[in-house]
Amino acid sequence: MAHLISPWLDFWNTSNWHVNARHKDVYYRQVAQDIARYVPSRSAHVLDYGSGEALHADVVAAAAGKVLLCEAAPRVRTTIARRFANNPKLQVVVPEEVERLPQHSLDLIVLHSVTQYLTPWEAKTLLALFHRLLDRRGILIVSDVITPADSSITDATALLRLGAANGFLIAACAGLARIRLSEYWRLRTRLGLTRYDEATMIEKLGAEGFLAYRANKNIGYNQARMTFVARSR
């Protein structure tokens, strides 16, 4: 089964790239609101694979019947399990539990900001699993996909715009300086990020049994990245 390669998993288990608490809150709220718009019904069963801290997963849960938050990093998983312990619609799971879910049992699967940390083979394996788990009428969302044209300058510009619009511009400027000296940047430089152009991602999804198209808007704040909407053929 596909999991994040160990150095990335170790990083997410101990660190994050958000410049301050305001940034983290705005980021996760926007992601949750964007995901909620894809929930097909109030009874839908949803999987957010690689959910991160998912501060506002309750927004998604309010639009759905059940939401599974799959997170491989143990510390993060413990944090979100504690945060949503009293919400019966939210359940925190490990990747191995996802593999054991019944066939065609999910109505919406979201893979947000994960593909860049997977090798192409790991992504292929994960998409094959999703095809097995997704209901015949279900939806797969693969979002925040990095393009070959994306650069650190593009990402920095998107963060500064977000900061300016949400009251943390100074923190964003300082945070960008810290990121260049951080373990995240060292990992990104050493391991690289997996990138796809639009045609390649659609072809990759097609190879695993999906019909896909690029959405007009990416989930989250960075509109230089891509979101794909896919359904089983």
Per-residue pLDDT of the chain (233 residues; tens, 9 = 90+): 445 557 777 777 776 778 889 999 999 999 999 999 999 999 999 999 999 999 999 999 999 999 999 999 999 999 999 999 999 999 999 999 999 999 999 999 999 999 999 999 999 999 999 999 999 999 999 999 999 998 888 988 999 999 999 999 999 898 888 877 777 778 777 878 899 999 999 999 999 999 999 999 999 999 999 999 999 99
Topology, domain 6-232: Rossmann fold (3.40.50)
Q: What residue spans define the domains of the chain? A: 6-232
What are the structure tokens assigned to 82, written together? Answer: 């504690």
Output the pLDDT for position 101. Answer: 98
Residues 124-183 have pLDDT tens digits of 999 999 999 999 999 999 999 999 998 888 988 999 999 999 999 999 898 888 877 777
C-alpha radius of gyration, the chain, whole number: 17
| DSSP state string for the chain | -----HHHHHHHHH----SSHHHHHHHHHHHHHHHHTT---TT-EEEEET-TT-TTHHHHHHHSSEEEEE---HHHHHHHHHHTTT-TTEEEE-HHHHHTSPTT-EEEEEEES-GGGS-HHHHHHHHHHHHHHEEEEEEEEEEEEPPTT--HHHHHHHHHHHHHHHT-HHHHHHHHHHHHTSHHHHHHHHH------HHHHHHHHHHTTEEEEE-SS-SSS-TTSEEEEEEE-
Instruction: Find all residues with CB under 8 Å of 172, minimum gap 6, and list them.
Output: 19, 23, 159, 160, 162, 163, 164
Per-residue model confidence (pLDDT) at position 13: 74
Query: What pLDDT is stored for residue 1 in this prediction?
Result: 45
